[in-house]
Structure 1
Amino acid sequence: MTQFADLSSPQVADLLVGDRTPVLLLPVGAIEPHGPHAPLSTDPIISAGMCARAAERLADDPAVRVLVLPALPYGVTHYGEAFPGAVGINAETLHAIVVDVCTSLARQGFTKVVLVNNHFEPEHVTALTWAVDSLAEQGIHTGYLHLLRRRNVERLTEEFRSGSCHAGRYETSLVLADQPALVDTSVMRGLPPLIVDMPTAMREGRTDFVAMGMDQAYCGSPAEATAEEGQSTFDTLTELLIDAIRDLADQE
């Protein structure tokens, strides 16, 4: 059993008296358009998929006991507001939810939580790092797997490294590996490549998909997506997450 919310209250209490260090994973994402082919829930699917795989890999680990918290699917999402389906919360709300959840857990003795995020809109990422800083001020050292750090980016796919990867080959492959029924592959195969350097566009002040030239809310090459690439990428993401789990578990 890897889902925290599936435990009974006495089972949760037992986690704190065992020899293994409990580490909880909080999947984070956003509900927003991912092209005409992929689900609004693409980001939460990827975060939850990483968490599930890491928890399964560490199920029999003698040092850590890893459990996955209920996902936080809503995030700060302004870039996709021109398209139906974008459901956003503001940065203050995201910050408050993460701080409140982690503080509640810490009061019970669960001081080790890793945030696992796959939505990279700048204001959203800033809210999460703000939450980590706020928790640290309370003496709660929360882990955060920041996939945009150079050392992590370099281990991911060419499309991800290019910055032209919203609902493209990278993300669509991951959904095909985890929830293939949610991808409209007939539409996906007909989408032409669209190269948009999103980080550069953001620095230039273009803060929505339409202004970036993404008139169907995607960029990259979704037609090239495969479940095989998605599974390979999940393997890498899971390794990165396990490293973050062990780093946090080792902290006093």
Structure 2
Amino acid sequence: MTYFADLSSRQVASLPDDGRVPVLLLPLGAIEPHGPHAPLGTDPLISRGMCERAASRLAADEDVHVLVLPEVPYGVTRFAAGFAGGVHIGEETLHSLLVDIGSALIGQRFKRILLVNNHFEPAHLVTLRRAVETLNFAYEGRVALLDLVRRRHAQRLTDEFRSGECHAGRYETSLVLADRPELVDQPLMRTLPHVPVSLAAAPEDGGFAEMGMTEAYCGSPAEATASEGEETFSTLTDLLVEAIRELARE
């Protein structure tokens, strides 16, 4: 696989002319509490894992050249207020950062950029979609967001994900167990009760505590397994590869 930042300036300059369509993947997420058992960096960890797996799968592809950009780990995370470890940045800050990154790359003939996000707070998602629109209309990019909450994508993921009970629950914890198991407090994880709170119904001005997520998680983390995480990563990678190929055709 190829990490964009590992290349030299001369290597990067030659990429648009190597006969393959370059598609740059930008992993996104938020640094925020994920229960008492999972790491603050769960969201960007999942995004990075997807990007690495997709780049590896397409490494020998004759038509597309996938490069993984350094991740942007900070996002809009007001829901995490009151819990230790949350690092919130505002919508305009995130929008400006993504537009600046995207416009710098578009100006170097890297127009196809795919945002890969695993933080699903509504205000964060709205900001990502707006950044894509700005880059495509103001800078003539070919930028896209793999929007996992869209029905056509969500229906291919797990029951817990579709229910909305997926913040640090079985869905996300399984993915971390598949990628970085040493970051999960597994003895504690197995003691955590099911918390039936759906983020899909979260009020825009709410927060984890107000929604009843007193330990900053919902769903069933005690049921998480590395094997489920590997299976989910495979599905997520399928979705990402499909999005890469679609973007390369534009």
- Normalising by structure 1, we get a TM-score of 0.97
Q: How does 1:1-252 map to 2 (within 5 A)?
A: 1-138=1-138, 139-202=140-203, 207-251=206-250
Q: Distance in 1 between matches of 2:205 and 2:73?
A: 25
> Match of 2:212, as an amino acid?
G
Q: Is the 8 A contact 1:163 1:198 kept in 2?
A: yes
SS in 2 for 1:47: helix
> 1:201: Cα distance to partner?
3.1
One-letter amino acid of the structure 1 residue matched with residue 172 of structure 2: E
Code of the residue aligned with 2:125 in structure 1: it is V
- Work out the CA distance in 2 between the residues paired with 1:137 and 1:67: 23
Q: CA RMSD in A?
A: 0.9
CA distance in 1, matches of 2:31, 2:58: 29
Code of the aligned partner of 1:2: T
CA shift, 1:184, in A, is 0.5
Question: Unmatched 5+ residue regions in structure 1?
Answer: none
| Partner SS for 2:165 | coil
Rounded to whole Å, the distance in 1 between the matches of 2:201 and 2:84 is 25
Deviations 1:102-131 (A, max 9, x none): 100010110000000000001100110010
CA–CA separation in structure 2 for the residues paired with 1:173 and 1:136 = 35
- AA aligned opposite 2:186: T
Moved over 3 A (4+): none
The one-letter code sitting in structure 2 at the alignment partner of 1:126 is V
Q: For the residues of structure 2 that align with 1:134 and 1:9, how far apart are their CA atoms?
A: 27
CA deviation after TM superposition for structure 1 residue 58, in Å: 0.2
- How many residues were matched structurally? 249
d(CA) in 1 for partners of 2:94, 2:201: 25
What SS does the corresponding residue of 1:113 show, helix, strand or coil?
A: strand
Q: Distance in 1 between matches of 2:198 and 2:181?
A: 27
TM-score, length of structure 2 as denominator length: 0.98
Q: 1:196–1:206: structure 2 CA closer, same or farther, 3 Å change rule?
A: farther
Structure 2: gaps spanning 5 or more residues: none
What is the Cα deviation at residue 141 of structure 1? 2.1
The percent identity for this pair of structures is 60
Q: How many angstroms apart in 1 are the aligned matches of 2:232 and 2:16?
A: 33
Q: Does structure 2 retain, via aligned residues, the 8 Å contact 1:30–1:41?
A: yes
The CA deviation string for residues 56-99 of structure 1, in whole angstroms up to 9 with x for no partner, is: 00000000000100000000000011100000100001101111
* Equivalent position amino acid for 2:167 in 1: H
What secondary structure sits across from 2:132 in the alignment? helix
